Structure 1
């Protein structure tokens, strides 16, 4: 059986009896290691093996300590020290101040958004028109809102802060605010930098087929 010089045994091994005295450790110097065996803690095998010297089993201090929640240190004068690791409790989540807590929102425009690629404008007394591009439709709280660009191909849009004027065939149809926030039933609001108009302001209703929106008179 292979022999090992274990002069550094005090820095690496812990007797399973946990009662070895200095003179007992000294007496092990030069002794033959009779065996090396794997050992487990709570069913988990530790990588560094235990050894047997003169019929007594010894465990590797660092491997044992780290596996059982101890910090292991060595000092030439003081020897080996095991200290229970201090686990810092998780920091509590900060409680938002009343001023930063958002108020109740009636509906979520983001969840009702749909990208539209083509718009068909069909009125009884108007020739059916079609426009293609990147448009937006928001359906929220039972209302339909279209981006200003969605109807700009069919209506004349006149800008005048803080209102936008929409006209059809020279006749004023509606005025909408340019900076309103969404609320249930509002006529228009700004979302993601774009003005959205409630179709009821234009006396229209929308029908969606895939990524096509058909605008018709809401009679």
Structure 2
């Protein structure tokens, strides 16, 4: 019986009041255990039971200490020591970086389809000229930093003379541009043909385009 009491945990038992002195523990030696009962701490059962000696319940020290957050140590001179375990600092979970919002991809060099825009109205607003407006189905292409408009767009204000292989544009009887027809697009070219339509570089006409919705204003490129 003595062996059972000592062998519970680290060879010692602790009174439920946790106030037993060495003399009191010694006085239990040789006494009969009157009962053993399972222990639960917050619903969790300990492996070692509590025992009853002379009507007092005793707990297994190490099992109880570890279950309640204590470090249990034994010294032959000092006896049993319970020390609260140091709590590890709580490391905050890293805050996830915000997902970057999708940004439009930069235009691809030479992407005629990506720079294409349909227009419903075009206004020619030049210095020393009366403003003119035309409505219909027009188009322009902005590509590689340049603006191109279809000849059908310009035909509302300019006189177009077709020749092979050149196209001539005149305004109020004065020649303002001569362009090659049926040429392929290349960066900085004066004109090119795309899907059967000829487009002219506004810079070569000393014009710039201002787009608002499906409306285009052509004005002097000052």
* TM-score of the superposed pair, with normalisation by structure 2: 0.51
Q: Which residue of the partner structure matches residue 191 of structure 2?
A: 188
CA contact (8 A) 2:109 2:143 kept: no
Of the candidates 135, 138, 148, which is equivalent to residue 138 of structure 2? 135
Q: Which residue of the partner structure matches residue 200 of structure 1?
A: 203
Aligned partners of 1:140, 1:159: CA distance in 2, in Å? 25
Q: Which residue of the partner structure matches residue 221 of structure 2?
A: 218
Q: CA deviation at 1:161?
A: 1.0
Within the alignment, does 1:175 sit opposite 2:140 as a pair? Answer: no
Q: How many residues align?
A: 115
Q: CA deviation at 1:136?
A: 0.5
Q: CA deviation at 1:179?
A: 0.8
Q: Which residue of the partner structure matches residue 157 of structure 1?
A: 160
Aligned partners of 1:106, 1:128: CA distance in 2, in Å? 34
What RMSD, in angstroms, separates the aligned Cα atoms of the two structures? Answer: 1.1
More strand by share: 1
Bigger Cα Rg: 2
Q: CA deviation at 1:201?
A: 1.4
Q: Which residue of the partner structure matches residue 124 of structure 1?
A: 127
Q: CA deviation at 1:106?
A: 4.2
- Unaligned runs of 5+ residues in structure 1 are 1-104
Within the alignment, does 1:113 sit opposite 2:121 as a pair? Answer: no
Task: Give deviations 1:97-132, integer Å, cap 9, x for gaps.
Answer: xxxxxxxx9411111000001001000111000011
- Segments of 4+ moved more than 2 angstroms: none
Aligned partners of 1:195, 1:175: CA distance in 2, in Å? 13
Aligned partners of 2:109, 2:213: CA distance in 1, in Å? 27
Secondary structure at 1:117 match in 2: strand
